[in-house]
Structure 1
Amino acid sequence: MNLRGKRILVTGAAGGIGRLVCLRLAGQGAELLLADRPGDALDTLLGELGGQAVALPTNLLEDGAGERLAADAQATGQIDVVINLAGIMSFRLFQNESADNLQRMWQVNVIAPMQLTRALLPAMVARGSGRIVNIGSIFGSIAFACFTTYSANKFAVRGFSEALRRELEGSGVDVTYIAPRYTKTPINAGAAARMSEALKMNMDEPDVVAANILRAIEKDAKDYYIGFPECLFVRINAILPRLVDGVMRKQNAQIREFARNE
């Protein structure tokens, strides 16, 4: 896909990865709609992008946020691409996960992007062009201990992407699913960061992930996994999950120790 002149809606636009994605998209000549919570981060990004962007302050935790965001975006003109990037993470023993946090995570990570996509699709299908870009995670293919809710969310995003791609085949509307591995952003701060450093997990800088997101979109990729050997482990886990259980057993015990105090 040639990004020049494309009108692209990005959720989580002012976040650690989102900001860098937006700056790279603008560098390719895209026109951007920036969806994120109102605040200094969104205002700063809007200033950086100047005339190439319009801010759409939104809170995806609110009921019906996806539909409202779609209406606000379409009121500005045709939407060529939506990048569902906003997300929240949880690192703790599942028995300690609060009911409120379960609801929050499903709302932001799964329900809101599905609502937004559903509301944008009729116009894309009618004109026979458009792209849905869903940012998942390696955790959406390999479920990690103490990231139970997050892994479940990302498995759902991956399933949504696969089913929707098959449903839209021949319509002119494409679906790209992108799965980063662990990334050094504020979403992974605290105990999760200490755990990943202690276990020497492979980590990517946000700009590496942003560059790969653009590469996947420009290549019209259907599925794009970031990082080796994680992309290999995804394939192994799909075929031999019980083998992966054994390989991860020692690591899981260490992960639980870091999560107990969260």
Structure 2
Amino acid sequence: MKASQARVLLTGACGGIGQATTAALTRAGAAVLLAGRSPARLSAQVRAVQARLPDVQLDWHEVDLQQSVSIAALARHAADWQCNVVIHCAGVPEFGHFDTTAPDRIAQVLSTNLLAPMLLSQALLPHLKSLPHAQIVCVGSVLGAIGLPGYSVYSASKFGLRGFSQALRRELHDTTVRVQYLGPRGTRTAFNSSEVNDYNRATGSATDPPKAVAQALLQLLEAETAERFLGFPEKLAVRLNGLAPTLLDGAFDKHRASLPMRMKHLPHAPSHSEEMKNAH
């Protein structure tokens, strides 16, 4: 679908990738409905974009992706708004030793990164299937195809998102709805903690600016490619890991050694309200 024909519902709109995607889509002529947790940030983002592009069709809707009622309300609003593209860009990070990760935090990551896109897609499917053409785009990660030390929980959420995308794509093959998956590598946004940045430097892991991810997302949308991963050697590693998963097991000794010092296990997850506004 050409961007100029797209009416896009974008979750995680206030995050680094979300903001860059909004800019790329609107410059290409798309109408965009921004969804996120902060009305103040969303409205400010709309004003900033419209100051540059006064003719752009831009709106926003507050949503809490931890709440099924809020997701359902967003779906109704997006259907009334006549969206024909859904981009699942919201997400929360998790990095560190699995055995010190709080159970509440595991539930939060899986709920936001996996369950929320599933519930929102399900709620919007009747509307999307009624259209001549529609697309669902899941913004995942290369960590949805390669499991790295320190990312057990995050990878679980993104492996699940990729599996959901693949299965739904095949399920809807005889309909007018196309399902796609984009797997960025590390992206230079506030999504990354200082520990993650230290880990990337220690392991020589390359990162991309959010504009590069947004441009790849725009290209994916218009080309209607089923799946795309970003970066080299990440693309090669995805292929190798898919063909022979145990082949790479010994290649991540440096990554394991570069994990941060173990912290005392916490019974409850800390507040991550700012992380909910980012996406990866």
Coarse TM-score class (shorter-chain normalised): over 0.9
1:59 aligns with 2:64: yes
TM-score normalised by the chain length of structure 2 = 0.88
1:215 aligns with 2:219: yes
**Contact 2:202–2:258 (CA under 8 A) maintained in structure 1:** no
Provide the residue aligned with 2:4 in structure 1: 4
Provide the residue aligned with 1:72 in structure 2: 77
Deviations 1:49-90 (A, max 9, x none): 3352111011112233322210122232x1110000000001
- Separation of aligned partners in 2, 1:103 and 1:19: 26
Residues 24 and 250 of structure 1: is their aligned pair in 2 closer, same or farther, counting only changes over 3 Å?
A: closer
Shift of 1:139: 0.2
- Separation of aligned partners in 2, 1:224 and 1:88: 21
- Separation of aligned partners in 2, 1:64 and 1:112: 11
- Separation of aligned partners in 1, 2:135 and 2:18: 17
Greater relative CO (CA pairs within 8 A, separation 6+):
2
Provide the residue aligned with 1:242 in structure 2: 246
Residues 259 and 201 of structure 1: is their aligned pair in 2 closer, same or farther, counting only changes over 3 Å?
A: farther
Deviations 1:214-256 (A, max 9, x none): 111111110011111101100101112211001112332223x
Q: What are structure 1's unaligned runs of at least 5 residues?
A: none
**Contact 1:191–1:259 (CA under 8 A) maintained in structure 2:** no
- Separation of aligned partners in 2, 1:25 and 1:102: 32
Aligned residues: 259
Q: Within 5 Å, which residues of 2 pair with 1:1-262?
A: 1-50=1-50, 51-76=56-81, 78-255=82-259, 258=260, 260-261=262-263
- Separation of aligned partners in 2, 1:124 and 1:52: 20
Secondary structure at the aligned position of 1:155 is classed as helix
Q: What are structure 2's unaligned runs of at least 5 residues?
A: 51-55, 265-280
- Separation of aligned partners in 2, 1:109 and 1:34: 17
- Separation of aligned partners in 1, 2:171 and 2:116: 20
Secondary structure at the aligned position of 1:86 is classed as coil
- Separation of aligned partners in 1, 2:203 and 2:166: 32
Shift of 1:259: 5.1
Deviations 1:178-214 (A, max 9, x none): 0000111111122111111222211111111111111
Provide the residue aligned with 2:268 in structure 1: none
Secondary structure at the aligned position of 2:48 is classed as helix
Q: Which range is displaced more, 49-58 or 211-220? A: 49-58
Give the partner amino acid of 1:25. L
Shift of 1:261: 4.0
The ranges of structure 1 where at least 4 consecutive aligned residues each deviate by more than 4 angstroms after the TM superposition are none
Secondary structure at the aligned position of 2:232 is classed as coil
**Contact 2:142–2:184 (CA under 8 A) maintained in structure 1:** yes
Query: What is the percent sequence identity of the aligned residues?
Result: 36
